[in-house]
Structure 1
Amino acid sequence: MNNYMHVIEFCGFSKSYKDFNLNDLNFKINSGFITGLIGPNGAGKTTLINAIMNLIPPDKGEVIVFNKSMGAWEREIKQRIGFVYDEDFYYNHLSIKEMGKIIASFYSNWNHAVFKQYLTDFKLPERKKIGNLSKGMKIKFSLAAALAHEPDLLIMDEPTSGLDPVFRRRVLSILSDYIQDGNRSVLFSTHISTDLERIADYIVYISNGQLIFSGSKEELLDEYFILKGPVASQPMKKHLIGLQQSPLGFEGLISKNIYSENSFDSQVVVEKPTLDDILVYTQGDC
């Protein structure tokens, strides 16, 4: 096992832009697990990942990775990180093989056999030009390149958005296998919350640059109930975090601390929420 409990730590991290701020973020990402990063579009997920990769400097605070300051130990730390972004930054005129050689030159522990095996598994022909790859194929290539130097931390920013459901499930299986030795960690940012339902151990939830929740997935899901019932039995709106109504009835999210069986009539159905339910209702758009 690693000799550190937390693979990433945000310590008083703040970054201000003209129309967006990350405000005094303090949280930790546990080592040896898959952590899902969730939040609505524009919440700051990609900005947070860019901060981890030291692509944006903090105005205050710092990011600690592998118990070292990313600002002071960037080169050493990045040798141990693999990353997959939704957008590619490759040379479209090069072949997969040629691009692979360029990426390999940046990593001292690049494993060509592992890279080639993933290309075979993902059905990516080495001679094919990067510019001729579909979005899904580019993500497959990015994943192969990220795993080829056998990193201790894999960071993925919306990696499954361009993949078909079958390969998305395959990626989730790869990630689950990847952390089995307890020495590797994954930070997985996605708006496809069903993916995180399947594999995430922990969740970091941010909105408008603010930390809403950081803890185990089960803790987050256990904080709320979904209530459903006919319109006639609709509870007072003040009890609900969100509310959807139709002529047939209502559905809403309620904090487990507020809910009481005696508060609502017998026609109300109580269900456990999904991550998607929590995201939708806590944004206040219902």
Structure 2
Amino acid sequence: MNNIPAIQLDCVSKSYNDFMLEPLSISLEKGLSYALIGPNGSGKSTLFRILNGLLQPSTGSIQIAGLTPKLADVDIKMRVGYVPESPTDHGQVRASEVIDFISRLYPRWDGKLCADLLEQCEVSTDQSYNRMSKGMKKKLSFVLALSARPEILLLDEPMDGLDFFAQKFFTEQIHHVLQQEGTSVLMATHRVEDIRRISDVILLLNKGRFLGEFEKDHLLDQWKTLWIDRLPPHPQEIAGVVEWEEGPLHRLVTHNHMQTVEYLAASGMSITRSTSLELDEILTIMLRNPHICSS
């Protein structure tokens, strides 16, 4: 049972209006944090709606915590905590009533944790929900999701609307459930800082097509900018190089640092300087050159 993926998608696709999410097969391991990223219109929201049962896929099959949505929808919902991009509208009821209602839906609900989180992030439960600020509503969404003690956390633009202090607080809470409770996290975000701080693995989508999954630390370790003393006639033939620029010192960008260094050394070219790329630079180049993702 321990080897069952947190989320398993087999050839899942969705076609509607003028958009097509191409067949997607991925297996998300338990206890890891995945960042689902891509430009607007890439399919992130579509995939999240499918995982939450709000859309039915056109093709393919899904398992969440080893369960099939069509056969065990309620069981799945009890195992999943969800922080939506736009908090659910609970109308005129007080926040305390929202908490009381939600707590009855989750068998692992932790009332003490809920009370502690509410106090630490300073959420008042006495006022009516529709009078709460956007930031307070997002904080409450986080508290509800974490207090359910879920096996899987689905986070859709989780830090949107939160101030710096709340972002830091909930980032720490996510790290806690990852490290101490083995919770699995799937997060859709545009914020590179969230990806850098929270994710283990990056899932890259573009225009409905899945470009692959990449270990964040491996990307940061292998992508480098190198300056060399001379440039060969065909720079594109240098192993690992994806971009280059001529100058007093020629600049290369490589997605495989070790391979490029070995090639340059064998060719008698000297590296004058080497620097790491920022994560946003790496992802921008990958989206601009999708063929790199499969190399």
TM-score in same-fold range (> 0.5): yes
Question: Is the radius of gyration larger for structure 1 or structure 2?
Answer: 2
SS of the counterpart of 2:115? helix
Q: Could you say if the C-alpha distance between residues 74 and 157 of structure 1 is closer, same or farther in structure 2, counting changes exceeding 3 Å?
A: same
Alignment size in residue pairs: 282
Deviation at 1:183, TM superposition (A): 3.3
Question: Alpha carbon RMSD of aligned pairs, Å?
Answer: 3.1
Please tell me whether the aligned partners of residues 109 and 149 of structure 1 are also in contact (alpha carbons under 8 angstroms). Answer: yes
1:161-219 CA deviation, whole Å, 9 max, x = no partner?
Answer: 22222321221111111122353211122111222212322221111121112142223
Tell me which protein shows more helix as a share of its residues.
Answer: 2
Q: Are positions 1:282 and 2:291 aligned together? A: no
TM-superposed CA distance for 1:70, in Å, is 2.1
Match of 1:92 in 2: 91
- In terms of mean alpha carbon deviation, does 275-284 or 167-176 score higher? 275-284
Which residue in 1 is equivalent to 2:276? 272
Matches within 5 A, 1:35-184: 35-184=34-183
- Structure 1 segment 184-223 matched on structure 2, within 5 A: 184-223=183-222
CA–CA distance in 2 between the matches of 1:252 and 1:171?
Answer: 38
Contact kept in structure 1, 2:222 and 2:256, CA below 8 Å: yes
Pairing of 1:228-247 with structure 2 (within 5 A): 241=242
When residues 58 and 224 of structure 1 are mapped into structure 2, their CA distance, relative to the original with a 3 A threshold, is same
| Secondary structure, counterpart of 1:179 in structure 2 | helix
Report which stretch shifted further, 112-121 or 144-153: 112-121
CA contact (8 A) 1:51 1:63 kept: no
Go from structure 1 to structure 2 and tell me whether the alpha carbon gap of 1:251 and 1:143 turns closer, same or farther (over 3 Å shift): farther
CA deviations 1:243-285 (Å, max 9, x no partner) are 899x999977433277444689768643222321122223339
Residue by residue, what CA displacement relative to the aligned partner does 1:57-86 show, whole Å, maximum 9, x if unpaired?
Answer: 111111111112223211111101000011
- SS of equivalent to 1:283: helix
SS at match of 1:177: helix
TM-score by length of 1: 0.85
Q: Deviation string for 1:17-51 (max 9, x for gaps)?
A: 22221111011111012222221222111211111
In 1, Cα distance between equivalents of 2:236 and 2:64? 42
* 1:238 CA displacement: 5.3
Letter in 1 for 2:107: S
Contact 2:9 2:61 in 1 (8 A): yes
Give the whole-Å Cα distance in 1 for the aligned partners of 2:22 and 2:142.
Answer: 31
- The structural deviation recorded for 1:142 is 0.1
CA distance change for structure 1 residues 44 and 56 in 2, over 3 Å: closer, same or farther? same
Identify which range, 258-267 or 160-169, moves more after superposition. 258-267
- Quick check: 2:4–2:66 contact (8 Å CA) kept in 1? no
Contact 1:205–1:211, Cα closer than 8 Å, also in 2: yes
Aligned to 1:7: 6
Alignment of 1:238-257 (within 5 A): 241=242, 253-256=253-256
Following the alignment from structure 2 to structure 1, what is the Cα–Cα distance between the partners of residues 73 and 3?
18
AA in 2 matched with 1:256: N
State the alpha-carbon separation in 2 of the partners of residues 82 and 204 from structure 1: 20
What are structure 2's unaligned runs of at least 5 residues?
Answer: 290-295
TM-score by length of 2: 0.82
Identity of aligned residues (%): 27
Cα separation, 1, equivalents of 2:43 and 2:242: 22
The AA in structure 2 aligned to 1:184 is T
